[in-house]
Amino acid sequence: QAPDVLILQEVDRVAHLNAIAAALETNQPGTDWQQRNINRTNTTTGQSFLAILTRFPIANVNHTLLTAEGEVIAACPNHPRLAARAAIGATITVDGKPFAVFSTRNEFISGDCVAAEQNRRFKAWANATYPSVTHLYGGDFNMLPTGQAYPVITTNPTAIDAWREA
């Protein structure tokens, strides 16, 4: 395979990201892979990185906290967050056209109430931070196509779920 963009979650160490980038460069001679990552460190689970790797130039890198460790979401009062959840976004330009790419990881506890709220926060942040460009979301959204979190991502504006399509 010769990918253009990789969107990763739950990477244990930056050394793993460096190894992935080196392997991609070996597999695609003459291609310089760039990476941006954020550490979602918290006391419950330790380090866990979200990352974007791409052969295209990366610009406008931003990140946000979707929920804090131990946060209780008003709509889901019986499920305090076990771990912090975050998202990273960046702009890449392909053939002169800008795209926003994202990596995120949501939490799934006893249904998808929490994932639905994290999806709402993620989408609001993505739309406000990267307006007027096509978005490519990647991540572990921890949701089911039949659950309440799913339409938060797939509607307004319409999004195609490549995983479900595949």
pLDDT digits (tens, 9 = 90+) for 35-66: 999 987 555 666 788 999 999 999 999 999 98
Give dist(CA 164, CA 166) in Å, integer.
5
pLDDT of 1 strictly over 90: no
pLDDT of 144 strictly over 70: yes
Which residue is listed with tokens 């096509």? 134
Task: Give the model's pLDDT for residue 50.
Answer: 92
Average pLDDT over all residues of the chain: 86
Residue among 133, 74, 72, 79 at smallest CA distance from 101: 133
Mean of pLDDT values over 96-107: 92
Using the CB atoms, write b or e for 120-133: b if 16+ within 10 Å.
Answer: ebbbebbeebbeee
